[in-house]
Structure 1
Amino acid sequence: MDLYLPIASLSVNALVIVALGLGVGLLSGMFGVGGGFLTTPLLIFYGIPPTVAAASAASQVTGASVSGVFAHFRRDGVDVHMGLVLVAGGVVGSLVGAGIFTQLQANGSIDTVIAILYVLMLGSIGGLMLHESVGAIRVARGHARAKPRRRRHHPLVAMLPLRWRFYRSGLYISPLAPLILGFFTGILTVLLGVGGGFILVPAMLYLLGMGTQVVVGTSLFQILFVTAAATMVHATTTKAVDIVLAALLLLGSVIGAQLGARMAQKAKPEYLRLVLAIIVLAVALRMLLGLAWRPDEIYTVHTL
């Protein structure tokens, strides 16, 4: 069943887009990530323009985050105080990101910049995840000893002034740290269409020193509001949000997230992280090939 996407200006198979959303939602439910960092590259591989893919993926992540936030609220797993500081930084970052996006779009370099950022980001994140998951598997099999880790914020965070108490997270740190973290996440949300959870969660754990019981819920709280703000910014400035594309993705991702959550309960987390690391590295390699591989015929002529 073919549908015409008004903003992308092309026809797509609706079932393929729903299936793509289903697959990303499945990964989201299994691994606890928003999935936006995979949605945009997969849409680009399918032929969607990178600008439309990034803008529409942000709106899809917004919808997919709603149920997750409510679930974590029910079990008191959200630090609202910390989340509001992250959201404030993210909203400002979204506005700055929109300015960068518009400038790159005017220069005609936005597609290349998106691809390069994804290669660098997915390559580094995938490499770190692969190293961590292999280490966890070695510990689980008894081939190595687990290294004890004390929950403490980074020394650079401790140096910042104007400390506040974040009671739910058990922290006494400067709000400038989460504000800056939210700011850069907001920029990435607009440029790449990602929720930023795969960056936020490790940063909240290892830089801010937050407790694991509130990290995922607080991250989803920030993602919900910042991706909503990024969607509004895209809709009013870049005009790159394709609501038909976003709706098809959301339909698949909501179903996939429920299935993925059930599957995650039956699998070992270290093996799940290993699988996700391999998927992320494979997507990064495919995008790198798309940047570096030169076709035999740069221009082709089609008869209509």
Structure 2
Amino acid sequence: MDVYLPIANMSVNALVIIGLGGLVGFLSGMFGVGGGFLTTPLLIFYGIPPTVAAASASTQVTGASVSGVIAYTRRKGVDYHMGAVLVVGGLLGTVFGAMLFSLLQRLGQIDTVINILYVLMLGSIGGMMANESIRTVIAMRTGRQLKAKKRRHHPLVANMPMRWRFYRSGLYISPLAPLILGFVTGILTILLGVGGGFVMVPAMLYLLGMGAQVVVGTSLFQILFVTIASTMVHSMTTKAVDIVLAVLLLLGSVVGAQLGARFAQRLKPEYLRLLLAALVLIVALRLAIGLGWQPDEIYTVTVQ
């Protein structure tokens, strides 16, 4: 069943797009990640222009974040004070990212930049995840105990001026640290169509020193508002959001997330993390090959 995507200016098989959304939703439910960092590469593999893929993927992340924030609010797992600072930084990063996106678009380099950023980002994150997962699995099989990491903020964060108390997180740090973190995440959301949770959560744990009980909920709170802003900014400036594509992805991800959550209960967390790391590295490798592989058609003509 073919459906025309007005912004991408191409026809796609609706069932395939729904299937891609279902796959990402399945991974989201199974691994506990937003899945946005995989949506854009998978759409690019299918043939969707990177600009449209990145802009439309953020809408799927928004939908997934709403239910997450509600669930963590009920458990009192959201630090709204910290979240507000992250949101302000994220909104500023979104505006800056939109200007950068438009500049790269005018220069004709946005597709290449998106692909390179994904290779670097997924390669580094996948490598770190694989290293930690392999060490955990080896320790589990040999019966050796890994040293627990102490929760404390980074020395650079400790030296920043103007400290505030974030009671829910148990922190007394400068608001500049979460503001900068939110700013970077906002840029990533605009450029890559990701929620940024896979970058933000480790940063909140190991740089800011937040307690694990409020990290995920606070991250989802920030992601919710930043992805909404990102979608609006893309719609008004780059005009790269394809609502038909976004709806098809959401249809698949809703069902896939439920199936993934059930499947995850059958596997140990250590093996789940290792499987996710392998998947991330495979996607990074495929993107890297695509950057150096000569396409069948070197030149294309588009009507502006």
Q: Give the alignment's TM-score, normalised by structure 1.
A: 0.96
Which residue matches 2:116? 116
Q: C-alpha offsets along residues 124-149 of structure 1, whole Å, 9 cap, x if unaligned?
A: 00000000111111122235431122
Question: Partners of 1:98 and 1:131 in 2: how far apart?
Answer: 34
Which residue matches 2:160? 160
In the TM superposition, residue 299 of structure 1 has moved relative to its aligned partner by 6.0
Which residue matches 1:187? 187
Q: C-alpha offsets along residues 166-218 of structure 1, whole Å, 9 cap, x if unaligned?
A: 11111111111000000000000000000001000100000011111111111
Q: C-alpha offsets along residues 50-94 of structure 1, whole Å, 9 cap, x if unaligned?
A: 000000001111111111111111111111111111010000000
Aligned residue pairs total: 301
Question: Partners of 2:46 and 2:297 in 1: how far apart?
Answer: 20
In structure 1, runs of 5+ residues without a counterpart are: none
Which residue matches 1:99? 99
Which residue matches 2:7? 7
Q: C-alpha offsets along residues 74-126 of structure 1, whole Å, 9 cap, x if unaligned?
A: 11111111111101000000000000000000010000000000000000000
Which residue matches 2:202? 202
Which amino acid is 2:50 matched to? P
Which amino acid is 1:3 matched to? V
Once the two structures are overlaid, the 10-residue window that deviates more, 162-171 or 234-243, is 162-171
Paired residues for 1:164-243 under 5 Å: 164-243=164-243
Question: Partners of 1:111 and 1:202 in 2: how far apart?
Answer: 28
Which residue matches 1:270? 270
Q: Which runs of 4+ in 1 moved over 3 A?
A: 295-300
- Match of 2:3, SS state, is strand
Which residue matches 2:90? 90
Which residue matches 2:247? 247
Question: Partners of 2:262 and 2:208 in 1: how far apart?
Answer: 30
Instruction: Report the aligned-residue RMSD.
Output: 1.4
- Match of 2:267, SS state, is coil
Which amino acid is 1:184 matched to? V
Question: Partners of 2:5 and 2:295 in 1: how far apart?
Answer: 27
Which residue matches 1:31? 31
In the TM superposition, residue 237 of structure 1 has moved relative to its aligned partner by 0.3
Which residue matches 1:16? 16
Q: Give the alignment's TM-score, normalised by structure 2.
A: 0.96
- Match of 1:246, SS state, is helix
Question: Partners of 2:283 and 2:149 in 1: how far apart?
Answer: 31
Which residue matches 2:66? 66
Question: Partners of 1:22 and 1:240 in 2: how far apart?
Answer: 22
In the TM superposition, residue 47 of structure 1 has moved relative to its aligned partner by 0.4
Question: Partners of 2:259 and 2:184 in 1: how far apart?
Answer: 32
Once the two structures are overlaid, the 10-residue window that deviates more, 228-237 or 252-261, is 252-261
Question: Partners of 1:182 and 1:70 in 2: how far apart?
Answer: 21
- Match of 1:238, SS state, is coil
In the TM superposition, residue 236 of structure 1 has moved relative to its aligned partner by 0.4
Question: Partners of 1:299 and 1:233 in 2: how far apart?
Answer: 30
In the TM superposition, residue 32 of structure 1 has moved relative to its aligned partner by 1.4
- Match of 1:146, SS state, is coil
Percent identity over the alignment is 75
